[in-house]
Structure 1
């Protein structure tokens, strides 16, 4: 049942609105440095997707803790060997990197992004 809630048109609209808001100049100060938009290519569809996420950065590594992972699909694009990702407007500019998703024994999912050299 939760899967339906998170795949609903309302959530898709909210995510699209959040992505748009992150592109407004100066709004990043209000939103905070912990929220960015990720851009990635779907593993099956080949389409480009963007979604807002909360991140924690430590040097060249960024961690995305996926809230309610069983109701979301985007992180599954980074299982196994992982794949390329772009973090939009992280610290004022776009950063590319390689993301790998991990699920722990308690079912929690974290996506670790190793940023490319500038």
Structure 2
């Protein structure tokens, strides 16, 4: 088994645990202040993907920072003109449009604008 296989298996376990906390009636309000779940359709696979992510708000925008972006691929679904997604906020799924940008330091941020 390769290290990348171990990493992906561990990430799956962590993601399932984070999603359980986010959607928990008991812990969701607390955890949901900085973690949420996004759902989107993969541009190549066409499959629906659910992923827990950290976020923060800036005005009406929701910013999702991508840690170690070169080792991840999910954010690439939102490059260029971006793509639609659904984000769980306050226990409610909200549709929006996300665009990924990379700054001069290589940091990636996915900016979500909620549909009105």
RMSD: 1.8
Residue of structure 1 equivalent to 2:95: 96
CA distance in 1, matches of 2:90, 2:59: 12
CA distance in 2, matches of 1:70, 1:110: 13
- Structure 2 unaligned segments of length 5 or more: list them: none
* Residue pairs, 1:1-118, within 5 angstroms: 4=4, 7-88=7-88, 90-117=89-116
Count of residue pairs the alignment pairs up: 114
Deviations 1:54-83 (A, max 9, x none): 111134311111111111111000000100
Q: Name segments (4+ residues, structure 1) moved above 4 Å.
A: none
**Once the 2 structures are TM-superposed, how far is the Cα of residue 19 of structure 1 from its aligned partner?**
1.3
- Structure 1 unaligned segments of length 5 or more: list them: none
CA distance in 2, matches of 1:93, 1:48: 18
| Structure 1 contact 85–98 (Cα < 8 Å) conserved | yes
| TM-score, normalising length: structure 1 | 0.87
Q: Which moved more, 1:18-27 or 1:37-46?
A: 18-27
| Structure 1 contact 40–86 (Cα < 8 Å) conserved | yes
| TM-score, normalising length: structure 2 | 0.88
